[in-house]
Amino acid sequence: MNAFRAATTSRALEAVENYSLAEVKAGSPMEFVDQINFDRDSNFWSCVFGQHLPFGTTVNFPQGAAVSEWVARVPGLFWTGASKKLRTEGERYVESLEYRSKTLKPFGKSQLVSGGVGTMRLPPSSRGDRLATIATSGNVSAGIPALITDEVWRGCKLQEGSVVVFRGATWEGMDESWASRFPSTRGIPRGYLHLNNPQAVDPLAELVATEIHPFSIMEYASDDVELFDFVFATAFTADRHFRKDIERFFDLYRRAEGRNGRYLIAADVAQPLWDSDFTSPDHLRSADPNSVSHLRLLQRRIEESMGGEETTEHLLRVLAKTDVGLMRRFSADIGISPSQWSNAGSLAKVSANFLSCVTTEKLPALIDAIASVNSHLLEA
């Protein structure tokens, strides 16, 4: 397995771990901090990443935004600098071109999903709360997560594509963070806009087409090598046949080019669109009696696919193109003290010392750290 493939597999592992955390859950009440108006998704996320939007801030969208029942798999990931590069690179891997349609190879699709493309749909909580998205562009992958209470959803007669003007939504943090061992998502705040007051939401008399990207992870074999790649489809919810089109695409794609793949997770937990090993985050977290969780078993399977001498040798060549300063950064990213490996010596010897300290469990995080800094380093 070359390092590019290992990078894809590490992101697949990140997606599995973050998928297991997905749920509709309200956080702790926030104290009022400030009030800010926004008119675009990009402005909102720029403010978040610039650390100018502390939890507790009241957020208004006075010019309106579309509502979707779908949410990005990691909200905000679309807007990182590394994600934009991954999406650009992924578009180069074309499998087929048809009229008004382009299908990417599995690796190309993986690059786009690693770059923030990909959406999920969760069922409401027992109280009727929904984890949804507010999007000014209509692109749900680029939108803002919103926890909408049943009182607001029903009282304002919201549905997929509703356009609303809202005031007084609180930017609140969730109890959990994103999967902590992966640098690509570790620094993204886990939060949502809390809409719990029907009087603060003004639905306009129009519906718009929201753009969604249902995704999964496909496991398949190629040249006797077990591979894990992302698969996603782009759909517009205004098309009344969009669900059937998605189902058809995923079924055909797993069988195309002799892949005979299987899907590991379901994007639409509320109403699955394809057969998958794990139909919900809760299913992935659960365990058979007297055994480890399904999540841990799947983690081991993916981690083992990344091992081997070929990957180690390739990473030694990658690290030889860096310097001790970058290796110290990677070491800190994956939780290894530089004092364990940074003895004096040639760069090749230091690289070998560093890599000898990286356990199988930490290998995906190292590859993720390298790709997050500069994915072209993996071309060594």
List, for residues 1-45, the tens digit of each pLDDT value.
Answer: 566 778 888 899 999 999 999 988 876 777 788 999 999 999 999
**Would you kindly state where each structural domain of the chain is located, as residue ranges?**
308-379
Contact 208, 238 (CB under 8 A): yes
Q: Three-class SS of residue 102? A: strand
Amino acid symbol at 123: P
Amino acid symbol at 243: R
Query: Which DSSP symbol is given to 153?
Result: H
> Whole-angstrom Cα distance, residue 230 to residue 218?
6
pLDDT the model gives residue 275: 96
pLDDT the model gives residue 179: 87
Give the contacts of 306 (CB within 8 A, at least 6 positions apart).
Answer: 1, 6, 9, 10, 360, 363, 364, 367
Token duo for residue 39: 């008119």
For the chain, the maximum distance between any two Cα atoms, rounded to a whole number of angstroms, is 69
> Whole-angstrom Cα distance, residue 170 to residue 156?
18
> Which residues is 165 bridged to in the sheet?
202
Helix (H) or strand (E) holding 205, with range, is strand 201-207
Amino acid symbol at 304: E
Give the contacts of 146 (CB within 8 A, at least 6 positions apart).
Answer: 67, 131, 132, 133, 134, 169, 192, 193, 194, 195
Tally of CB atoms within 10 A around 70: 26
> Whole-angstrom Cα distance, residue 123 to residue 10?
28
Give the contacts of 240 (CB within 8 A, at least 6 positions apart).
Answer: none
Contact 377, 322 (CB under 8 A): yes
Rounded mean pLDDT for each run of 10 residues along the chain, 380 residues in total: 76 93 80 90 96 94 95 96 87 78 83 93 94 96 97 95 94 88 89 94 90 96 86 93 96 93 96 96 82 86 79 85 91 91 84 90 89 74
Question: Following DSSP, what letter does each residue of 273-338 receive, concatenated?
Answer: SS--SBSSHHHHH-B-TTS-BHHHHHHHHHHHHT-SHHHHHHHHHHHHTS-HHHHHHHHHHTT--G
Tally of CB atoms within 10 A around 196: 17
CA distances from 90 to 68, 102, 373 (A): 26, 12, 17
pLDDT the model gives residue 181: 86
**Ramachandran sector of residue 199 (left: φ over 0; alpha: ψ -120 to 50; beta: rest):** alpha
pLDDT the model gives residue 289: 66
> Whole-angstrom Cα distance, residue 285 to residue 269?
14
Contact 104, 112 (CB under 8 A): yes
**Comparing C-alpha atoms, which of 14, 21, 13, 74 is closest to residue 280?**
21
